[in-house]
Structure 1
Amino acid sequence: MVRFNGVSKLWRRWLRHPRPAGRLLRWTAIQSSLVLLLCLFVAGASSLPWLLKPDLQPGALAPFNAIAPKDALVQDSTALEQRRSTLVARSVVQVLDPDQTQALKLRLERQLSELQQVSESGSAARVGPVNLNADEQVWLEQRSDQDRFAWDNVVRQAANRMLSQGLVSTLAVDQLREAAGLQLQGDAIDNPAARSLAGKLLVSSLQGSSNLRTDPNLSKQLIEEQLTKQGIPTIDVRKGDLITRKGEPISPQAYDVLDFFGKVKREPQPLIWLGRFLEALVACGVMLLVMRRERPGLEVRHALLALGLLLLAQLAKLWFQSTVSPLAVLVPPTLILTEGLGTGCGLAWMAIAALIWPLPVNGLGHGRLLIAVAVATTGGVIAGRQRSRGQLLQLAVLLPLGALVSQWVLLQLQPFTGWRLWGSLNPGLDELSTDALLLGLLLMLSLLMIPMLEGSFGLLTRARLLELADQERPLLRRLSCEAPGTFEHTLMICGLAEEGARAINADVDLIRTGSLYHDVGKLHAPDWFIENQKDGPNPHDALNDPEQSAAVLQAHVDEGLKLAKRHRLPRPIADFIPEHQGTLKMGFFLHKARQINPNIEERRFRYHGPSPRSKETGILMLADGCEAALRSLPPDTSEAEAKDTVRRIVESRQQDGQLRKSGLSRSEVELVVQAFVKVWRRMRHRRIPYPIPSRPRHSA
């Protein structure tokens, strides 16, 4: 059997490449079978539209000679589609726009007001809304208030009649002047100067403006009515006519006739369906591999969640078909997976969901899918940086608004750019608003579901991490009350670990929360740990059994895992409990045991592990080992001496093989050492000695 060792090595290296660093979980056979089964469901749903493909297609070579068995009138689908496309270009129904009509009326009122100001100024020759001739100036200066009110009402009524008939912005000025004159003929304006001035004012107010807008629904109705009036194009077939000749291409008209006579069989086409099925199945596999590379600790339930959302997306596409909203299908799941698994996983899901779209996006064009992908990508990138549920709520409002505005802008630019993102019939603002509203509602629903998904699928969002780090939570509050020494030790380690993680761009929120819970297992017997012992005796001295004392130390790990399970801590947080100790030696009790029995096995005095499998747990192990040493340094210790102390502890961990699986490089370890010394320098800052006043003496 030929083995490609280089390819196999490269594959394992790519899959295990830590980004971010973390352990690579191995799924059991049952778990892998569940994932594969769900992948098959997704592939089946995606390939379903191709399951019953016709065996003949227009343009394909005819496999047989076909003769018309009888006379028939067959609908010509190609001619019908061409006629429909032609009608779309010239069958646009426009209706009055109330907002634009009101704006034109307000413009007329402003010009009437300006004209009155010219009249009141005593100089009708000054610049006004329109140019006045000599007769118009005389009439304007001599008119009374009663004449002004009557004249203004006549102008308003004429404008209302013109606006109610609809105004086109491209109407020539002469035509608009003629229309204004016709509207003023029946009104009681005897003075020719007053009539000409009214016509000028109407032209000035309405020129270059329109109060019409396109109504998509009425346009569609008009197209269907015109098709009905013109008649459906048909093909007149006579009995005995040759429809197709074997080996010649099938024309669209011949295909319609063959379909009419039942010669086109819609039976399962295994090859076409198999190709689509395998395409979707491979896409699911690629998505899972990318997600495991982005998140090496990807659990089975995470994979099942991603595949379940992908299956729901496919079913929604099949159910709603051409009316489906790509925004509603792609954006909410992307946001959920980005929050729970990271930006890379969310964008990988979105890319696969868009690539295996089972049917073309009819109705409003393929541009809807492209716009949805752009909005989902933007939302995924932004959501990956959010740190609270309040920020996510803002995003759930801003994304639909951004989608609405961007689509409206693209729609307005379409005549200039030539882009046909929506196909042959553009959507109206009401349709775009409906899509945005639906997206907003689904995003709100997704935000409500995220806390439930966190518990059910083990998702760890930023908001969840910050909530778990609240020191008023019951488990942390109990630790501070029942084991105050351990709690103070935890806070010190938390400061060291945070600075170390920040120095190498590790997950600061994760290491902060994990540090707070790493020693909760000491709650089972707080007095057996020296930081909680005050002035009383040490229970280990009374026990006088090194192996039993080592068992107590191991128990704080085992009991910590039990508490983590009882309080439903996410697995990445629970992993800090055993991994911060790894398989370290319990050196003090091993030394005592060898004083009694020099041949005792070392493995009895090692923690059960596992050793750190991520950068964050590796940093915590180093912080746990360095905290006591740094705190016990004398006040006059120099920074170089402190760094040397930390480096010796770190090197001992490295030599013991504890950091082998953590993904920490030598340069990152050095940055962590410098960060620890930086925190120590902050803790050991100098203070001014304040004088303490002596107690006053009381006279006898």
Structure 2
Amino acid sequence: MAKLPSPQKIWRIWLGSQSPRRPILRWSATDKLGLLMVCLLVAIFSSYKLLAVPDLKPGDISQVNVIAPRDAKVIDTTDLKEKKQDLKESFVQSIDKNKSSDLEKTVSKKINILHTKKYNNFGIDFNEFNITKPEKDWILNVKDNEWEEWKEEIKNVSKKMLSQGIINTLALDQLNEASSLQLIDLGEKDSPNRTLGAKILSSSFHQKSNLKVDKLKTNILIENLINQEGINTINVKEGSIISRKGKPITSQEFDILEHFNKVSRSPRPLKWLITFSESMGSCGLLLMIMRREKPRLQARHGLLSLTLLLVVQLTKDWLGPIASPMQLILPPTLLLSQGIGTITSLAWMAAASLIWPSSLGESSEVRLIIACIAGSFIAFLGRRMRSRAQVLQIAVFIPFGALLGQWFILNQVIKENNIEFNNLSIDPNSLFNETIIISSILMVTILIIPILENTFGLLTRARLMELADQERPLLRRLSREAPGTFEHTLTILSLAEEGARVIGADVDLIRTGALYHDVGKLHAPNWFIENQKDGINPHDEIKNPYKSADILQAHVDEGLKLARKYRLPSPIADFIPEHQGTLKMGYFLHKARESDPSASDKRFRYKGPIPHSKETGILMLADGCEAALRALDSSSSDKDACKTVRKIIQSRQVDGQLEESSLTRAEIEIILRAFVSVWRRMRHRRLKYPSFNPR
């Protein structure tokens, strides 16, 4: 039986299936945990309402227009609750047998205490019963048979009183009088045996009760009372709108929805699991697509895209059905297309649309489709916009184009289905207002893009164009302090730019990276041959190839320090070390081996890393070919130039410098021919004009 590949192997196959294979930037465990937490939050906020019981309550925003399926009369629960509130003091009580038994035991206990005191001749003070002298004499003189008869009468009367119910709010004197009336068979009202019996009963029952509220009988009583007064009902006609989408659900609308079983009273775990899994899968697929587009993708770029997805989910959850797909989808799509790439923005838009709430009405489906179409335009155009003014045009024209699309499609829906426009949740005014709002949000997004560029390390086209401005302080300093290096940079820029253009690489990125790749030479311009004057070479004076090698390596290290100081984005700073890779400093290695044949070439190699992108790989080739092409004499042919460039490129390939650059052999051949064409333009001949000797 064939063994299924593990998820980790599938992931590696997915990322490594490009040709040639591109190097993958490994994310740390902390980065992965952070991304996982955001994915979980997105999934939770996308699905938690499916576990809510009930799923609706008065005051919630209606997700759809609900139509009554039939005629009905529905009880107004609000009116019912108000009447029940008015009748909350009405209740039915019944005898609690356990409490009655306890009270009977109390009566018997007190009688027994009196009997005990009789034989002790009341040697202990007995103020509990407040016994009078006649009562005390009666107790002392009463015969046993008379005592038993009196005792039995007291118990019978207590049962009779308990069967009628005892309340705990009756005053003691009233309770004593009631007890005396029940003991009429014991003689005159003032006879000691009768007054003593009344005292025992009243003291036993005072502030006590043997009653309890009978809930069943109380509910029957309240219902009978309410029926006598009459309950308000809501008349519902078949086909009428119970609740309108985007409007708060009133208490009466909730009663009707519940009557027609439109309110779920139980959680939906299966649907929750499906929605939760769908959201997690969307987040995972988004990250996979982003990493396939850019294997060197930084974790914070993935975190930005997932955070935007979480913000959209929170906003949808807050606004409910009144949330506009275009207002929520277009701004993040513009931001991601500008900062990361077209494929990433399209994948994000697909994920946001996939986990959009399923309860979409007819007009909402139209709006979501149009939002996706508008978002696709933004994704494709946003990455190509080379200035913020061009991006601003997108913020104006795309929303108004979407306005026309919605207007046309909604009108078609109305005509085909004979729907009154008022029944739809969108009217002409709201369409226009939404367009203005979307344009405003997009403009605000454009304003905050520079902030997000620094926070998340984004590199937009506008930012690249700004950095490529040769009037920027670092480039002006390079042109003043190291003019030879600056001219060398411009020549390399021409070669690298044409090489990137012919294979479809990022021309703007390589142009900007080329301008900054040698800024580290500012730390010691005179140590580099292009800046030396009068043929004075400091390397010849020190005659130490090891120190010279350290100076060459220092221009990379110092360049990285300047990149941090001037806050150059990391994709631009990568050109500084990667354009040299781990190349040998061949001249100084040769000098070292003249005196020490065993000198290791590792000591005379740059620290790297080797190029990790097509752009830095092209710049390495341009940097190596520039001096060789300039050294060709005027009689050299294209074949000679091609041979020279090929030799340099092959040396880089043999040295393993292009292994991680993802440049194919075909692309390298195309770049070679592009370099030769640039060289041809650089060496074009001019006509020699005759000298003019004015008289």
Between the aligned partners of 1:421 and 1:273, the Cα distance in structure 2 is 36
Cα distance, 1:273 vs structure 2: 3.1
Identify the residue that residue 372 of structure 1 maps to in structure 2: 371
Contact 2:383 2:460 in 1 (8 A): no
What's the CA shift for 1:463? 0.9
Partner of 2:392: 393
Residue 581 of structure 1 deviates from its aligned partner by: 0.5
Give the match for residue 627 of structure 2.
628
Helix, strand or coil: the match of 1:613? coil
* Maintained 8 Å contact 1:316/1:324: yes
Residue 31 (structure 2) pairs with residue 31 (structure 1): yes
Letter in 2 for 1:624: D
- Which TM-score applies when normalising by structure 1? 0.69
Shift of 1:384: 2.5
2:49–2:55 Cα contact (<8 Å) kept = no
Secondary structure at 1:379's aligned position in 2?
Answer: helix
SS at match of 1:297: coil
Instruction: Trace 1:481-630 onto structure 2 (pairs within 5 A).
Output: 481-535=480-534, 537-630=536-629
Aligned positions of 1:449-464 closer than 5 A: 449-464=448-463
* 1:419–1:297 Cα change, 3 Å: farther
- Which stretches in structure 2 are left out of the alignment for 5+ residues? 57-218
Report the residue type matching 1:16 in the other structure.
Answer: G
Write the distance in 2 (CA, Å) between the matches of 1:265 and 1:582: 66
Query: What code does the residue aligned with 2:480 have?
Result: C
Q: Would the alpha carbon gap of residues 690 and 427 (structure 1) be closer, same or farther in structure 2, given more than 3 Å must change?
A: same
- For 2:391 and 2:646, the matched residues in 1 are separated by 42
Q: Distance in 2 between matches of 1:17 and 1:420?
A: 52
Per-residue CA distance 1:210-258 (angstroms, 9 max, x = gap): xxxxxx99xx99xx9xx99xx98999xxxxxxxxxxxxxxx985747xx
> Retained in 2: the 8 A contact 1:361–1:368?
no
In 2: Cα distance, 1:422 partner to 1:310 partner: 33
1:652 equivalent to 2:651? Answer yes
Distance in 1 between residues matched to 2:664 and 2:420, nearest whole Å: 49
Aligned length: 527
Q: Which has the larger radius of gyration?
A: 2
Tell me how far 1:339 sits from its aligned partner. 0.7
**Structure 1 equivalent of residue 335 of structure 2:** 336
TM-score, normalization: structure 2?
A: 0.70
1:273 counterpart = 2:272: yes
Q: Which moved further from structure 2: 350-359 or 485-494?
A: 350-359
SS at match of 1:534: coil
Q: Offset at 1:374?
A: 1.9
In 1, the alpha carbon distance for the partners of 2:380 and 2:350 equals 13
1:83 aligned onto 2:240: yes
1:321 maps to 2:320: yes
Larger mean Cα displacement after TM superposition, 18-27 or 465-474: 18-27
CA 1:637–1:276 in structure 2 vs 1: closer, same or farther (change >3 Å)? same
- Counterpart residue number, 1:351: 350
How much identity, in percent, do the aligned residues show? 53
SS in 2 for 1:459: coil
Partner of 2:311: 312
Residue 642 of structure 1: how far off its partner (Å): 0.9
> C-alpha offsets along residues 255-280 of structure 1, whole Å, 9 cap, x if unaligned?
47xx7xxxx745x6555434322321
What is the letter of the counterpart of residue 436 of structure 2?
L
2:329 and 2:349 in contact (8 A); partners too:
yes
* Backbone CA RMSD of aligned residues: 3.6
How far apart are the structure 2 equivalents of 1:492 and 1:516?
10
The aligned counterpart of 1:130 is none
Q: Which residue matches 1:126?
A: none
| Aligned-partner residue type, residue 355 of structure 2 | I
Residues in 1 aligned to 2:284 and 2:253: alpha-carbon distance in whole angstroms: 48
> Is the partner of 1:82 in helix, strand or coil?
coil
**Residue 674 (structure 2) aligns with:** 675
Q: Is 531-540 or 511-520 further displaced after alignment?
A: 531-540
Q: Is the 8 A contact 1:305 1:457 kept in 2?
A: yes
Q: Answer whether contact 2:366 2:406 (CA < 8 A) is retained.
A: no
Is the counterpart of residue 295 in structure 1 residue 452 in structure 2? no
- Residue 42 of structure 1 corresponds to 42
Cα distance change on mapping 1:74 and 1:51 into 2, 3 Å: farther
Q: Do the aligned residues in 1 keep the contact of 2:485 with 2:518 (CA within 8 Å)?
A: yes
For 1:476-513, what per-residue CA distance to the aligned partner results, in whole angstroms no more than 9, with x for missing partners?
A: 11000000010000000000001111111111111111
CA distance in structure 1 between the partners assigned to 2:507 and 2:302 by the alignment: 25
Q: 1:308 to 1:19 in 2, by over 3 A?
A: farther
- Look up the equivalent residue of 1:656 and give its one-letter code: D
Farther-moved stretch of structure 1 (686-695 vs 547-556): 686-695
Structure 1 Cα separation of the partners of residues 233 and 290 of structure 2: 50
Distance 2:472 2:260 in 1: 75
Q: Is the 8 A contact 1:43 1:280 kept in 2?
A: yes
Residue 293 of structure 1, CA deviation? 1.0
Taking a change above 3 Å as real, the CA distance of residues 598 and 353 of structure 1, as seen in their structure-2 partners, is: same
Mark the CA change 1:43 to 1:598 in structure 2 (over 3 Å): closer, same or farther: same
- Once residues 6 and 39 of structure 1 are traced to their aligned partners in structure 2, the CA distance between those partners, rounded to angstroms, is 21
Q: Distance in 1 between matches of 2:504 and 2:468?
A: 19
AA matched with 1:82: G
SS of equivalent residue, structure 1 residue 511: helix
1:28-427 correspondence runs (5 A): 28-53=28-53, 82-84=239-241, 255=261, 265-266=265-266, 270-358=269-357, 360-361=359-360, 364-418=363-417, 424-425=423-424, 427=426
Q: Which amino acid aligns with 1:467?
A: E
Change (3 A) 1:547 1:636: same
Does the CA-based 8 Å contact 1:366-1:421 persist in structure 2?
A: no
Q: Is the 8 A contact 1:496 1:623 kept in 2?
A: yes
Partners of 2:663 and 2:255 in 1: how far apart?
74
